[in-house]
Amino acid sequence: MHIIFASQHQAHATSQVMPGCPDRYDETPPRAKAILAALDAAGLGSPVQAADHGLAPILAVHDAALIDFLQGAFAGSRAFLPGDSPLWPDGYYAVQGARRRPAGWQQLAGYHATDRDSPILAGTWQAAYWSAQAALTAAELVKAGQRAAYALCRPPGHHATAGQYGGYCYLNNAAIAARHLQAGRGARVAIVDIDLHHGNGTQEIFYADPTVLTCSLHADPDQEYPYFWGGADELGSGAGLGANRNWPLPAGIDDPAYLAALDETLATVRTFHPAFLVIAAGFDLVQGDPSATTGGFRVTVDGLEQVSRRLAGLGLPTVIVQEGGYQIDRLGEMALRFLRPFA
């Protein structure tokens, strides 16, 4: 199985002490290192460095204004922030809409950010760019005929919308992979997001698009981040009506109940008749993840493997994109169990 990674992920150095960060920060470089080490040791496939596909496939998904901001934010903010201090937003203007785009870097951060979970560090753009390149490289392999490819993306991406970042996410890797799968052929793509948290960015990017089916199984947004998206009544709009489906699930859901919801999702995917599948693989659905604020799910690692087996049973050419999952000492095992049915 092809395993794609980008060594540049370490440039987003969130393991360091970050002034202005009041809480524990879960999304750190050891996440990707733990997964890569486990896959390499198990001989599941030979990890290969992502190839550079440039900015064009990223701009096919994201607004140029967001890309300009992410590229220049750290350097531009050094006029008022010392040394390696991260840039955090100063207020939030665009969750409910804004009348104008501000000029200052700190205010621009508030304009482009949906929350305060995503610091801009010296290497953030480099890491986010190469995370997207990992997803693009996996998509290119699948377009060329591979049954499945795994993109070890860090930072993750499914909370990033076309014009905003947040929830540890800067560029939406799953959406970028989906658009790249469509490029040149207009193929229908299904995205299934199994992360504990709703893939709000992916939903919003494709909300009016009838050619991309977005399905998310996630914790009820009345209880868990991202709160403002993820209801079962969010079905898409315009030509895309019916091409967005959400399964908000209660805290404490166990393997049988989760798999029953997944079976409904798979039936929806089959009805859509996609040419490709993209899986936003967040391992924070497994019991005990520290990112869960209300206890999370009671899905086991055995249950995670069953999720993978059922997704693999669709028989579709598949790009697997890494999203969340923050139990670092268990991430390697989770990745192995999830990827083996595709290998």
User: Which residues are known catalytic residues?
Assistant: 159
| Contacts for 78 with CB less than 8 Å, ≥ 6 apart | none
Q: Is residue 179 within 8 Å of residue 157, measured between CB atoms?
A: no
Taking the C-alpha atoms of residue 132 and residue 126, their distance in angstroms, rounded to an integer, is 10
The DSSP call for residue 165 is: B
Q: Is residue 337 within 8 Å of residue 308, measured between CB atoms?
A: yes
Closest by CA position to 87, among listed 69, 67, 114, 105 = 105
Q: List the beta strands (DSSP E) in 108-173.
A: 148-151
Q: Is residue 155 within 8 Å of residue 168, measured between CB atoms?
A: yes
Taking the C-alpha atoms of residue 163 and residue 155, their distance in angstroms, rounded to an integer, is 17
Q: Is residue 118 within 8 Å of residue 134, measured between CB atoms?
A: no
Q: Is residue 168 within 8 Å of residue 117, measured between CB atoms?
A: yes
Beta bridge partners of 3: 47, 150
Closest by CA position to 245, among listed 282, 209, 279, 216 = 216
- For the chain, count helices (H), then strands (E): 10, 8
